[in-house]
Structure 1
Amino acid sequence: MARAYSAEFKSTLASTAAPEAPITLLEINHSALSEPVRVANDNANITSSGVEYIACPFRIALPDDFENQLPKAQLAVDNIGKELMYWIETSGGAKGATARFIQIMRSRPNLIEWEITMNLSNIEATVTEVTADLGYENIFTRPAIAMRFDPFTAPGIF
């Protein structure tokens, strides 16, 4: 799918010595959070679209491309505070959380060049980092109907 990047962003991506690098922002949303967790993969805080993102390093492993398997990516965030662990523990492993990734340039923080929202699952924490799988729910493994009448589910009619 073609993306509609700005001319400045395309120039930065193609340059070997660009004056600035794209910044990736991360928003984690969950019903147990009063407001989303907002961090910037940079060394300084940044405000984009009127919202402040706190500088916090994180890493993203891009999705693989295997046949007969949904693509999955992985997110790793430094375990820098008790608040993150408290939220993971009290929310039942953050079930139902989503991660929104946004790419911007520091010189134009209100212009979103690219964004994607994915589900968070399989969250694991160590002393140094918190990791999670990113992906989408596999709706093809769900049954198409709520109740099926066969000898196992309704033996009385057979």
Structure 2
Amino acid sequence: MARSYSQRAREQLNATSADDIMLVLLEIRHPQLAVPVRVVNDTQNIVVEGNEFIACAFDVTLPDDSDNQVPQARLEIDNIGRELTQWLEQSGGGAGATCRFIQVMRSTPNLIEYDITLDLTGLSMDQTKVSGTLGYVDFLNQPAVTVYYRPETAPALF
């Protein structure tokens, strides 16, 4: 899952003093949300794909490019409003939520440089931060059945 940035984006990412910045946008979707939450990690709002992303500070560790593991990201949002904590309490910790990360250059917001959607799991909250782990549910390593035939579960078979 290698990232393929445009030539302009690679130049700006490798520049010592870049004149254009790479923005990280976050879109949170959940069945209980009528409208997805859309924020950008910047000081100015931006419109991408016809949707306005509101400026909000958050920390994100995007998944690495390793092909041998399930991609995982880490998200931390400042706990600055009662709306976020109320939604987390009502939704059972955000169960069933998905987060979409988009990277764009400020000068070319219609050119999406990176786009990934991950499931939100492992949510924790304290007075200052709301943190969560993002990734995919590993269905391939889960047991196929809920009950195994063992001497303690099916003694008549043994």
Q: Find the counterpart in structure 2 of residue 97 from structure 1.
A: 97
What's the TM-score, normalizing by structure 2? 0.85
Compute the displacement of 1:77 (Å).
Answer: 0.5
Change (3 A) 1:106 1:63: closer
Q: C-alpha separation between the residues in 1 aligned to 2:22 and 2:77? A: 19
Structure with the largest fraction of strand: 2
Q: 1 CA distance for matches of 2:126 and 2:14?
A: 37
Structure 1 residue aligned with 2:88? 88
CA distance in structure 2 between the aligned counterparts of 1:100 and 1:32, rounded to whole angstroms: 17
Q: Shift of the alpha carbon at 1:80?
A: 2.0
1:6-155 equivalences under 5 Å are: 6-62=6-62, 72-145=72-145, 148-155=148-155
Q: Would you say how many aligned residue pairs link Structure 1 and Structure 2?
A: 156
RMSD: 2.5
Deviation at 1:63, TM superposition (A): 5.4
Name structure 1 gaps, 5 residues minimum.
none
Which moved further from structure 2: 27-36 or 140-149? 140-149
Q: Which digits, 9 at most, give the CA deviation of each residue in 1:14-57, with x for residues without a partner? A: 21121111000001111111121110000011000100000001
Deviation (angstroms), 1:92: 0.5
TM-score by length of 1: 0.85
1:129 maps to amino acid? K
Q: Taking every aligned residue pair, what percent have the same amino acid on both sides?
A: 49
